[in-house]
Amino acid sequence: MRTHYEDLHVTEDAPDEVIRAAYRALSLKHHPDTSGDRPQSKWKMQRINDAYAVLADTGKRADYDAMLRRQRNPGPAPVQPPVRTARSSRRLHPHAQRNIQHTPSWLRVGLGWLSDARLALPLVAILWLVVLWMVRR
């Protein structure tokens, strides 16, 4: 991506006088009236005008510099919580969904309940206690 600084051939810490001088020099060079019939002169002049409009205004330049800093150092991406639907807690694991058409309905319901950690963990704990009780008998 080209920046306005690159369009005017100045550095990012250039003072206003340097930006103004660069704009004048480039506009004389690329102005459609003075550059002849070059097809790119109108396009280049538009880019020079846009760059000068932003960099000549101190408020717009500060906003533009902040936008450039954000693009160069984006930081961590915001974490979005997963979208939960009404039945999302009863969904099967993706690997278990492959052959779901060939599974009996009673088994599909049981697998759906076991795929929910809120139901599976207490059931596993109860089964573990039953096994321990049977072993000690």
Are the CB atoms for 39 and 21 separated by under 8 Å?
Answer: no
Are the CB atoms for 120 and 114 separated by under 8 Å?
Answer: yes
Rounded CA-CA distance 17/51 in Å is: 15
Q: What is the pLDDT of residue 92?
A: 57
Question: C-alpha distances in angstroms, 95 versus 27, 92, 98, 121?
Answer: 63, 8, 6, 20
Are the CB atoms for 112 and 91 separated by under 8 Å?
Answer: yes
Q: What is the pLDDT of residue 38?
A: 75
Residues of the chain with pLDDT under 50: none
Q: What is the pLDDT of residue 49?
A: 93
Are the CB atoms for 8 and 20 separated by under 8 Å?
Answer: no
Rounded CA-CA distance 8/2 in Å is: 11
Q: What is the pLDDT of residue 62?
A: 93
DSSP category for residue 74: -
Q: What is the pLDDT of residue 76?
A: 75
Q: What is the pLDDT of residue 102?
A: 66
Query: Side chain identity at 57, as an amino acid letter?
Result: D
Q: What is the pLDDT of residue 29?
A: 87
